């Protein structure tokens, strides 16, 4: 068993703040939306928490962005090798096959994470989409909803506050589902806690059996 240092400290900090923030944002978002059915807190409290956390996660996003930009790892880790598309698609299919079939029959995970390639091809495309597109969009739409007057010109660019809200709600739905699947996938290490532990310690244990 060898240990690989996958998650540098800033990324771990970012991740856990993000994780907690996401969960609370999803819940307060639900409270704002389902004021009639949910009674966790008042509308005002839900909005206050949601707004504070929104800004915290906005700042947090920059921890991730700046860290990976300064270390230059952002491209290596997140950009799929579009110059080798066939190979990339093949490896993606291989990875999907692993999760859908191989993992059941005891195949080895085709992806072996290293500090320079910590994501398997499916993770890579997913996180690229999430980090480069969905989170920024959620932040921007969130900002518009936070102060529709201040960001009225941005709202216009989106096609109106109604569309902004549609996007923000749509992504809230997506992230709600994503976070459940994400948590489950995190338990698919060589032990259920392996990946989660790694997210605390930074070191992923590469198990021979896996």
- Binding segment (CB under 8 A) for another protein, from list 62-70, 79-87, 170-178, 197-205: 170-178
Question: By C-beta, is 179 or 196 nearer to another protein?
Answer: 179
Among 84, 147, 157, 191, binds another protein (CB under 8 A): 147
Q: How far is the CB of 87 from another protein (least distance, A)?
A: 27
Among 13, 161, 196, 199, binds another protein (CB under 8 A): 161
Separation between Cα atoms, residue 84 and residue 97, nearest integer Å: 20
43 binds another protein (CB under 8 A): yes
96 binds another protein (CB under 8 A): no
Question: By C-beta, is 4 or 56 nearer to another protein?
Answer: 56
Q: How far is the CB of 36 from another protein (least distance, A)?
A: 4
- On whether the CB atoms of residues 202 and 5 are closer than 8 A, the answer is yes
- In 3D space, the residue among 129, 156, 170, 139 whose CA is nearest the CA of residue 60 turns out to be 139
3-state class (DSSP) for residue 22: helix
Among 176, 199, 201, 202, binds another protein (CB under 8 A): 176
Give every CB contact of residue 64 below 8 A, 6+ residues apart in sequence: 10, 11, 14, 18, 131
157 binds another protein (CB under 8 A): no
184 binds another protein (CB under 8 A): yes
- On whether the CB atoms of residues 208 and 1 are closer than 8 A, the answer is yes
Q: In the chain, where does DSSP find H-type helix?
A: 9-33, 43-71, 73-78, 85-97, 103-105, 121-129, 135-146, 152-158, 161-186, 194-201
Among 3, 5, 20, 33, binds another protein (CB under 8 A): 33
81 binds another protein (CB under 8 A): no
- On whether the CB atoms of residues 195 and 187 are closer than 8 A, the answer is yes
Positions touching another protein (CB under 8 A) are: 30, 32-37, 42-44, 47-48, 51-52, 55, 99, 103-106, 145-150, 155, 159-166, 169-170, 172-174, 176-181, 183-184
């Amino acid at each position: 068993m060898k240990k690989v240092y996958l998650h540098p400290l800033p990324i771990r900090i970012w991740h856990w703040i993000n994780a907690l923030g996401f969960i609370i944002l999803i819940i307060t978002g639900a409270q704002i939306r389902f004021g009639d059915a949910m009674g966790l807190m008042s509308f005002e409290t839900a909005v206050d928490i949601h707004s504070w956390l929104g800004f915290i996660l906005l700042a947090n996003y920059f921890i991730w962005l700046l860290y990976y930009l300064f270390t230059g790892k952002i491209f290596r880790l997140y950009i799929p090798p579009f110059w080798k598309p066939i190979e990339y698609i093949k490896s993606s299919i291989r990875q999907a096959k692993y999760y859908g079939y191989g993992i059941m029959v005891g195949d080895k995970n085709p992806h072996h994470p290293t500090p320079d390639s910590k994501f398997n091809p499916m993770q890579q495309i997913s996180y690229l989409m999430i980090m480069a597109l969905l989170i920024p969009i959620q932040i921007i739409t969130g900002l518009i909803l936070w102060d529709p007057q201040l960001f009225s010109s941005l709202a216009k660019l989106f096609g109106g506050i109604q569309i902004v809200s549609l996007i923000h709600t749509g992504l809230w739905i997506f992230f709600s589902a994503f976070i459940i699947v994400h948590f489950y996938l995190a338990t698919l290490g060589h032990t259920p806690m392996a990946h989660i532990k790694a997210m605390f310690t930074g070191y992923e244990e590469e198990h021979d059996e896996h």
